[in-house]
Structure 1
Amino acid sequence: MAVYTQVPDDALEAFLGGYDIGRPRSFKGIAEGVENSNYYLETDKGRFILTLFERRADPKDLPYFIEVKQHLAAKGFSCPAPVQANDGQPLQTLEGRPALIVTFLDGLSPKKPSAAQCRSLGEALARMHGALADFKGTRENALGPASWPLLWEGRASTAEDLQPGLSTLIEQDLAATAEARPQSRRLPRGTIHADLFPDNAFFLDDQFSGAIDFYFACTDVLAYDIAVCLNSWAFEDGREYNYSKGAALIAGYESVRPLEDAERGVLPLLCRGAALRFFLTRLVDWTETPADALVRPKNPLEYADRLAFHRQALSFADYGG
């Protein structure tokens, strides 16, 4: 989440006139994240989040994202529920951008997740996969392996500027993940979050209380969601993998949905691929984030360090499984 598009007071007043959620009391930008413009909105009838969709958000995908959240909310999984405007549609337009208001979730995002929170997150991830098992919508992962060579194209020199020798290593990562793509097609698939970082999960103490930011949700390998989470929850200071946190996350997931042998076998490569995906998108953001955006792009080298760990990992056990 971030703020790229500013919303003037008069535009907000006019926009909220199309809803039955009251008059605004508080309205402020949320600086975390890098994708869309997000605002905290409090009215005399409640608290909400307003999102204006930017950059990578394809307008044709937005109904899918909304339906994912509606489906989860109907199943009792804690996530922001889309709010319908007076015309019966949740998706509207504000300042020339597609816009959506969702309900506010209580809880805090952990700055440094504990092992207990990692376990609770793993359980929640498996429950989310279960709740979406009968979801009928589908969407290709637009940032899956097929997109990685395109993201990398023309950026080798930027990687070299960040760390000499890095471009050669990234080329090796691209080749390794491309070679394994047919194997991943035989793994269990379904609707995944694909971006469940700590800042997209809320907790009350050590217990998971909700997930947000489903705007990378897609149809893909279920275990890839675990790989994304291991990368974002179980590393300390870049490349140092916290075995206890990784083991807790995996144990939490398997307490709800035990992994198949094939998923366990391919997890190191899925983790390497997930780290590569976030390295590449961060590399793009490093050079293309607008100077006046209320967000600082995240350093790609954090994921370069994690890739170094994944190149050495040989088995499921290396991740705490």
Structure 2
Amino acid sequence: MAVYTHLTTEEIGQLLQHYDVGELRSAKGIAEGVSNSNWIVETTAARFILTIYEERTEREGLPFFLGLLDHLSAKGSPVPRTIHDRDGAAFREVRGKPVALIEYLPGVSLSHPDAAQAEAVGRALAQLHLDAADFAGRRANTLGPAQWQDMLHDCGDAQLAAIDAALAEAVERHLAPIVREWPQGLPSGIIHADLFPDNVLTLGQDVTGLIDFYFACDGMYAYDLAVTHAAWSFDAHGEYRAQIGAALLAGYHAVRPVSEEERAALPLLARGAAMRFIATRAHDWIHTPPDALVVRKDPMDFVRRLEFYTACGEDVFTLRDQA
């Protein structure tokens, strides 16, 4: 989450008049994240998340994203509902951009999860895959291997090297083999595709919220597991936390067993997950406006994870303890 478009209190108050949510008490911008503009909105009735959808979230995808939230919430997944306006619309428009009001869920995001919490996240991800299986909406992955190539080409070697000399070298060495070897035909359905710790809310050992579904799409379940593994299994210094990685895999496998074909593909999928975030972080690093209320994220964090999965992926994804 982040703030690129700055709204006044008056604008937010006027927007809320279209909903049965009470009167505005306060609104606070959220700096974390990179994709959309977000506020925590407090009214006389409850607390909500207000989101303005920026360039990367396509308007035509909003019925899919917001419908998926409602579908999963109705299934009992810990996913926030879309708050519909008095006309039943899931989103409105402010300053020429779509905007939605989302249920606020309790809980905190974890900066240093323990093994029990990681296992709970694995279970929640697997259950999400099962609960979304009968969702009627479809959406292609707009951040797949072809898009990584386009983004990194757009960045250019010189600008990548300006971020870090090792960044351009890693892209040159790893991108083509990942794209060339990318697996096909694995079990697929609706995936979250961005389940980082800041997109999971917990209370104690319980997952109370899975949020920020704006990269959700049709994709390989094992790729979603690899993305989540890459997002959760490393500490702030980039060191692999073996207990966390193993617990996350165990939790997922307990709810939706991973096939041998999926397991064999996980090392490559994890390398691809790292490359996906190298591409988007490098692109955002170069193109984020200087006045945006957003924390730019270092693509080198995922270069280090890419190197780890290249060297150790076969050992990491053995699933010996889950068999």
In structure 2, distance between residues paired with 1:204 and 1:255: 21
Q: Superposition pairs for residues 81-120 of structure 1, below 5 Å?
A: 81-120=81-120
What residue number does 2:139 align with?
Answer: 139
Aligned residue type for 2:308: F
Alignment of 1:148 onto 2:148: yes
In structure 2, distance between residues paired with 1:70 and 1:220: 20
Aligned residue type for 2:100: L
Aligned residue type for 1:157: A
Aligned residue type for 1:196: L
Which one is further off, 23-32 or 164-173? 164-173
Distance 1:238 1:225, change over 3 A: farther
The residue matched to 2:170 in structure 1 has which SS?
helix
What residue number does 1:270 align with?
Answer: 269
The residue matched to 1:191 in structure 2 has which SS?
strand
Aligned residue type for 1:90: A
What residue number does 2:177 align with?
Answer: 176
Distance 1:85 1:314, change over 3 A: closer
What residue number does 2:164 align with?
Answer: 163
In structure 1, distance between residues paired with 2:169 and 2:180: 17
In structure 1, distance between residues paired with 2:171 and 2:264: 23
Which one is further off, 66-75 or 4-13? 4-13
- Contact residue 24 and residue 43 of structure 1 kept, 8 A: yes
Please report how far the alpha carbon of residue 239 of structure 1 lies from its aligned counterpart in structure 2 after TM superposition.
3.7
Structure 1 stretches of 4+ with a deviation exceeding 6 A read none
Alignment of 1:243 onto 2:242: yes
Please report how far the alpha carbon of residue 237 of structure 1 lies from its aligned counterpart in structure 2 after TM superposition.
3.4
Please report how far the alpha carbon of residue 165 of structure 1 lies from its aligned counterpart in structure 2 after TM superposition.
4.4
- Contact residue 238 and residue 306 of structure 1 kept, 8 A: no
Distance 1:314 1:290, change over 3 A: closer
> Identity percentage over the alignment?
43
What residue number does 1:128 align with?
Answer: 128
Tell me the TM-score normalized by structure 2: 0.95
Please report how far the alpha carbon of residue 55 of structure 1 lies from its aligned counterpart in structure 2 after TM superposition.
1.6
Aligned residue type for 1:295: V
In structure 2, distance between residues paired with 1:319 and 1:262: 12
In structure 2, distance between residues paired with 1:20 and 1:106: 21
Q: CA RMSD in A?
A: 1.2
In structure 2, distance between residues paired with 1:100 and 1:294: 19
Q: Superposition pairs for residues 298-317 of structure 1, below 5 Å?
A: 298-315=297-314, 317=315
In structure 2, distance between residues paired with 1:60 and 1:167: 34
Which one is further off, 239-248 or 197-206? 239-248
Distance 1:147 1:27, change over 3 A: same
In structure 1, distance between residues paired with 2:12 and 2:259: 49
What residue number does 2:292 align with?
Answer: 293
Once the two structures are superposed, residues 80-133 of structure 1 have per-residue CA deviations (whole angstroms, 9 ceiling, x without a partner) of 100110111111012221000011100000011111111000000000000011
What residue number does 2:65 align with?
Answer: 65
What residue number does 1:318 align with?
Answer: 316
Structure 2 residue runs without a partner (length 5+): none
Once the two structures are superposed, residues 221-248 of structure 1 have per-residue CA deviations (whole angstroms, 9 ceiling, x without a partner) of 0011111111110012354211111000
The residue matched to 2:316 in structure 1 has which SS?
helix
In structure 1, distance between residues paired with 2:137 and 2:149: 27
What residue number does 2:25 align with?
Answer: 25
Aligned residue type for 1:64: F
